[in-house]
Amino acid sequence: MPFMYILECRDRSLYVGSTLDLDRRLAQHEFGEGSEYTKSRLPVRLLYFEEFARVDDAFRREKQVQGWSRAKRLALIKGRTDQLRPLSRKRWGSVADE
């Protein structure tokens, strides 16, 4: 099954990715083979994931969440969905990432 996931890196930054095999991808990140970003910020810790029926849906969600602020990502991780809309940033007169 496809997944969108959020990792916390050693420097407390948040990394958003997607994969077909979450366990394998987490192992790749831990061994420094997951991405250039996480490679220099090991260790990483899985904070959140969502499962999807289709790969393109997981990838679309990854791209959406990557555009979010740290505060909005943390609200998602903590299950505070009521805070997602207020935390959206306005861009060019519209609410982004709804």
Give the number of domains in the chain: 1
**DSSP characters over 44-90:** -EEEEEEE-SSHHHHHHHHHHHHTS-HHHHHHHHTT-GGGHHHHPPE
* CATH number for 31: 3.40.1440
Q: Answer with the residue of higher pLDDT: 96 or 46.
A: 46
Range of the domain at 28: 3-95
Q: Which pTM does this prediction carry?
A: 0.87
Element housing 6 (H / E): strand 3-8
**Per mean pLDDT, which range of 4-18, 26-40, 51-65, 82-96 is the poorest?**
82-96
- The confidence score (pLDDT) of residue 89 equals 62
Q: Assess whether pLDDT exceeds 50 at residue 93.
A: no
Is the bond preceding residue 2 a cis peptide, omega within 30 degrees?
no
The whole-number pLDDT of residue 88 equals 83
Q: What is the mean pLDDT of residues 72-77?
A: 95
Q: Which amino acid, 21?
A: D
Residue range 46-71: mean pLDDT, rounded: 97
Q: Strand 14-19's sheet: what is its strand order?
A: 14-19, 3-8, 45-51
Which pLDDT band holds residue 53 (cuts at 50, 70, 90)?
very high
